[in-house]
Chains A and B, each alone.
Chain A
Amino acid sequence: MNILEVQGIRKIYDKDKMPVHALNGIDLNFEQGEFASIVGPSGSGKTTLLNIIGGLDDPTEGYVMIDGVNISTLSGSKKTEFRMKNIGFVFQSFNLIPVLTVKENIEFVMFLQGIPKEAREKRTKELINSVGLNDKTNIRPSKLSGGQQQRVAVARALASRPRFILADEPTANLDSKSTDNLLDIMEKLNKEENITFIFSTHDARVVKRARRIITIEDGKVISDERVNGER
């Protein structure tokens, strides 16, 4: 069953003066537990697509349905609330809150949701353990390596038990060892907890690990392959 449906998505920037067609009719469906990467050259529309799927931006045409909810029609505040509960984000530049510790960064989303302290702390402990940062719990992000920061970002994205995680070039600022570590963790979470991961990436190492490769170019899907015989 599809948890995510993307139908007829078009995105045109600056419609009135010099229109830029970032997306030209994207149709995609995602099931629970997918480990998919969206690849394409720079300017192909990968990040735009991810932003629209995540509700950070609105399409000019088309809609996004997540678990039967058309998020494109939600109001700003409702969209934010939906995002908080259902979608996890991992950004290229980690985007951790610099004045909070690892533990506090992970807890933050649950704090926004109003989850009681005990439950928050329990979940945070689980997540820190699953990303292998037990000895860094009370450290601030500035004292962590790039790879460690990105692992914190993954843990934060998982904190609210989202339907899926959107990762926009998550390995772009990491060395090869950190990349491998991060991908190991994400694959483990994908397999063990059936969490859906959707990446946008240039990184061949990420593409190699993906079980579904969606290629877009000039705002259109030009191929959609499932590897290992899956379709």
Chain B
Amino acid sequence: MRSIVVIIAITLGVFAGIFIMAFANGMVEERIKAIITTEISHIQIHRPGFKDNNDFSLRIDNANSIIPLIEKTKNVAAVSKRLVISSLAASAETNTGVKILGIIPEEQKNVSNLHTKIIDGKYFEGVEKNPVVIGQKLAEKLKVSVHKKIIITVQDIHTNIISGAFRVAGIYKTDNDLFDEANIFVRYDDLANLTGLKGTEAHEIAILLNKNENTDKVKEQLKNELPDLEVKDWMEISPEAGYLVSAMDQYMAVIIIIILLALCFGIINTMLMVVLERVHELGMLIAIGMSKLKVFGMVMLETVYLSVTGGIIGIASGFIICKHLEKVGLDLYFWKDVYSSFGYSSFIYPVVNLRLIVFTGIMVILMGIISAIYPAFKALKLNPAEATRAE
């Protein structure tokens, strides 16, 4: 019975560890997917210094001639130019600072899935003059709805402060409330006209690749081809996402170690009880000729078997359940607002990472061995004469 309890405890602990890892990996992967497909794309190109403070004057003047060159690059799926200006958006009720992106709507569809996030109104349809698409959080803040007017105040090419009236064509909602509140989208031509630009420039060229794995390769190639421009990937543009990826494995390893350490103490306690309860039996084994080394080995093996059995069941059940959830997803709708305030989706698809499963398996075996040492050592210290007399 005791052995079953130990196995169940290890199974649950290991399962919990695998699940937490898969859950966290899933969250991170969803976040990265959102960053790439909705917010940033794989690579962005700017004038050097632009990303420091979004300086309006730092424009790529020959964007129209660069884009065909980029489109021909291997592994590039789509390219889109944008104007990016820090501005003020105001409604009748209030005003707030936003980033206004002047996009070519049809081109933008190829590098971003924003058009699929429209929850009210349409993606640049239904409003003829100066349509704007804003996030739901911003709409709530400005207390505007579809077809309502907002005033956008920007700086033009002569550094004059000018305003333009835009009408809300559509309201979008991503899983990132911060993004929704900060970014509004207008037509490239409308923004260019408002600010006095020619129509060939861009502040930003967004590039979507066919695979995330090609990012470094394409980035290096573009850096060589466009030495005067700044070519950055999504991890450089959004460093916190980059840290998340590189740190997540370490976080998960630490969590697994903590879970296993806790289990370790439980196993040590249980195996100590086993040794103490079997003092008589162990004394007898030594008396009839079993060497103390074999007794030591016996206790070690028993502990390792328990640990490995629990570990295997825990890993297997964790793997199976997480693989299933990887397909169907886990909807934590009751915490939707909490997740979106941090930029995460509440619909998680846990992702099982084989590397961490192997790590968990190795740690379980190590835990079994370490847990066994003290109880096995206690068994070594038994005096067979006293042990055989023990009750």
Contact = CB atoms under 8 A, between A and B. Distances in A.
Given A47-B389, A91-B284, A95-B281, A56 B384 contact: yes
A61 interface: no
Nearest to A113: B289
Contacts of A56: 286-287, 383-385, 388
Contact of B289 (A48, A51, A76, A160): A160
A228 interface: no
B292 interface: yes
Interface string B286-301: 1111111110000000
Contact of A80 (B284, B291, B388): B291
A80 B385 contact: no
B280 interface: yes
A77 B291 contact: yes
Interface stretch (A62-70, A81-89, A118-126, A197-205): A81-89
Contact of A95 (B290, B293, B388): B388
B385 A84 contact: no
Contact of B288 (A48, A93, A98, A109): A109
Nearest to A105: B288
A156 interface: yes
Contacts of A85: 289
B287 A89 contact: yes
B217 to A, nearest CB: 61
A95 B289 CA distance: 14
A83 B385 CA distance: 13
Nearest to A95: B284
Contacts of B286: 56, 80
A91 to B, nearest CB: 6
Interface residues of B, number: 18
Contacts of A51: 385
Contacts of B291: 77, 80-81
Contacts of B294: 112
Contact of A77 (B284, B288, B293, B383): B293
Classify the secondary structure of A's interface with B.
Answer: helix
Given A51-B385, A56-B384, A56-B385, A112 B290 contact: yes
Contacts of B290: 80, 84, 112
Contacts of B389: 47
A89 B385 contact: no
A76 B388 contact: no
Contacts of B384: 56-57
Interface string A19-56: 00000000000000000000000000001100100101
A108 B385 contact: no
B281 A80 contact: no
A108 B287 contact: no
Interface of B: 280-281, 284-294, 383-385, 388-389
26 contacts: A51-B385, A56-B286, A56-B383, A57-B383, A57-B385, A77-B291, A77-B293, A80-B286, A80-B290, A81-B289, A83-B287, A83-B288, A83-B289, A84-B290, A85-B289, A89-B284, A89-B287, A89-B288, A91-B287, A91-B388, A93-B280, A95-B280, A95-B284, A95-B287, A109-B288, A113-B289
7 smallest A-B Cβ distances: which pairs?
A84-B289, A57-B385, A95-B284, A51-B385, A56-B385, A56-B384, A80-B291
